[in-house]
Structure 1
Amino acid sequence: MIKKRVLKKGKYVVTREGSIVINLSKRLCKSLKPLSKKIEIAGSIRRKVKTPVDIDIVLIPKAKQKIMDHLKTKGTYMQGRGKRITFKIQGVKVEIYYTDSKSWGAMLMTYTGPSGYNIGLRSLAKKRGLLLNQYGLFQNGKHIAGKTEKSIYTTLDKKYKSPELR
């Protein structure tokens, strides 16, 4: 296991080499693909951060229980709550977020982050009388965008920003 000292919030922490986490995320995603209608790696890996320390995956499941059963063979400390499963695999924290096609883009955008960028978009939505969250963009309780990330940007009159530029 290759580890690296990284400056994080003013302190040095020991982290795994980013390429190990990226490769692990790709293998995990590949193993979940047959159990998913749609799946994508999110978080810092999707933003192309050089040294990711965890794995975020967004998926539309074919059958949630089959995914849970599959993951029990892969990792340790599994915790499933609502639309999220958290566990560790080879010491790396993994979070898997479930969604449906209606909220795919909103969920992917939320868990790609970074959080500061998401807060800015949510503030913009609020100024326009809208609500933006991981389930979509809403106006007076009605879902108006969120199937794709671009649909949210378009509805907010913003140019789409690729994950690595967020």
Structure 2
Amino acid sequence: MKKTSNKTTILLASLVGMVSLTSVAADKPLYRAYKHGNHFYTTDLVEMLNATASGGFKYEGITVHLVEYGDSDAKDAFYRLYNENAGPGGNHFYTSDLMEALNIKSLGYVYERTEGYTTKSKAKTIYRGYHSELDNHFYTADVVEMLNATASGGYTYQKEEGYGK
């Protein structure tokens, strides 16, 4: 009887752990890395680890947290597209505007995936800038970082992509 009780305790403890992990998993960190004029963003930790371990990217941190589809705070999909011929090392492009995602395909971009969803709540604005010489887009939720990128980094501010946590 005691063994059954211990097994039950272990099972309950692991289920409680799963419940709390599930609630945390609704937030999707958008990781950022940089290499030779190309910013790369992903919510997939393994993909980021591979990009930094063997892809030559330098990890720069978490830009913002998106949410998953079905989250009560989810608003717009955050699409990721890629053009291997743009910029010095290819260019990833991200947008929360479906029409913009469809239009950019005419410039040679291919849809890769949806990274997550922007939020209805307006906790952190996601800003987008563009560097024409590098053909590179830059995304940040830090207004000072965007101001620095536009003042001395060669980027032009383009728009707000939505909101994150």
- TM-score normalised by the shorter chain: which range applies? under 0.3
The structure where strand makes up a greater share of residues is 2
Larger Rg: 1 or 2?
2
Greater relative contact order, per chain length (Cα 8 Å cut-off, separation 6+): 2
The structure where helix makes up a greater share of residues is 1
TM-score by length of 2: 0.27
